[in-house]
Amino acid sequence: MTRQEIQARIAALGPWFYEFDLGTYGRTVSALPPAVAPIHETRLEMVNRVVDGHFGVRLRQIRCLDVGCHEGFYSIAMARKGLREVRGVDVREASLAKARFVADVLGLRNLSYELCNCEDLTVEAGGRYELCLFLGVLYHLESPMVCLRNIGRVTSEVCIIETQVIDEVTGQTEWGSREWAQPYHGVLALIDESAEFNNQNTETGASPVATCPSPEALRFMLKQAGFSRVEFITPSPGAYEQHRRGKRVVCAAYK
């Protein structure tokens, strides 16, 4: 396509959630408020820190799965780093159309996209991946444990998770009798995203029921999903404000 055709396609596919630099062909403009837009670079910086530190010189041998890839911002970044194979999956074809368009313009041949719900992920469908990305998705899900178990099965080395979190709650509850009790392993909050979901907001999950974890609930669920070690990544001083305040977290879960 010519530069003019590409710019027309950018306009036709809009509005955009992410800002992509397409070199001489121009760039997309994010519809997010300017104060929120830095969240993307914060996530990417923290992801790159984990990926580079863990894989090092093995990067070109690595397969990556980006679950809930949206418009492909992070899978495209991984493909541009030179990973052997990157696959993005998402529940919305409209988002995947944008991801495929950007990948084509940038000439990324190590990258593919597929329509898929994380509740339906299987090893048989794509094998196992040394790296899995699960960014900005978990807290939009109705069944987060189902998805984490699926991701645990398809990840062979490390999964990087970014999510909104709620404040921690500690304590215990009666469990069958007033004499018996069980401690909390973190808590989950149910969030009603009906208004956004019914308005076809692409930032929601596959249903209007969202389940947001506390940090310890996230750690506990990842352990139950088959990850042996969970490390919360410290945000940089210039990180997005929610990460600095601990209202969003990035963690690396290792097999």
Residue 27, C-beta contacts closer than 8 angstroms, at least 6 positions apart: 19, 20, 21
Residue 111, C-beta contacts closer than 8 angstroms, at least 6 positions apart: 72, 75, 76, 79, 86, 87, 88, 103
Per-residue confidence (pLDDT) for residue 94, from 0 to 100: 95
Phi-psi region at 85: left, alpha or beta (left = phi > 0; alpha = psi -120 to 50): beta
Residue 86, C-beta contacts closer than 8 angstroms, at least 6 positions apart: 63, 64, 65, 66, 75, 78, 79, 110, 111, 112
For every residue of 83-107, DSSP letters joined together read: -SEEEEEES-HHHHHHHHHHHHHHT
- pLDDT tens for the 255 residues of the chain, in order: 888 999 999 999 999 999 999 999 999 999 999 999 999 999 999 999 999 999 999 999 999 999 999 999 999 999 999 999 999 999 999 999 999 999 999 999 999 999 999 999 999 888 999 999 999 999 999 999 999 999 999 999 999 999 999 999 999 999 999 999 999 999 999 999 998 888 887 878 888 999 999 999 999 999 999 999 999 999 999 999 999 999 999 999 999
For 47-69, what is each residue's pLDDT tens digit? 999 999 999 999 999 999 999 99
Per-residue confidence (pLDDT) for residue 33, from 0 to 100: 94
User: Tokens 């410290």, residue?
Assistant: 234
71, β-bridge pairs: none
Residue 84, C-beta contacts closer than 8 angstroms, at least 6 positions apart: 60, 61, 62, 63, 110
129, β-bridge pairs: 155
Per-residue confidence (pLDDT) for residue 20, from 0 to 100: 97
Per-residue confidence (pLDDT) for residue 225, from 0 to 100: 98
Q: Counting beta carbons within 10 angstroms of the beta carbon of residue 205, is it exposed (0 to 12), middle (13 to 18) or buried (19 or more)?
A: buried
Per-residue confidence (pLDDT) for residue 81, from 0 to 100: 96
Secondary structure E strands in 28-154: 63-67, 85-90, 111-115, 129-135
The amino acid occupying position 201 is: N
**Length of the chain in residues, anyone?**
255
Statement: 37-254 belongs to CATH 3.90.660.10: no
Average pLDDT, the chain: 95
Enter the pTM of the model.
Answer: 0.95
The full set of domain ranges for the chain reads 37-254
Per-residue confidence (pLDDT) for residue 49, from 0 to 100: 98
Q: Which H or E run contains 153? A: helix 144-154
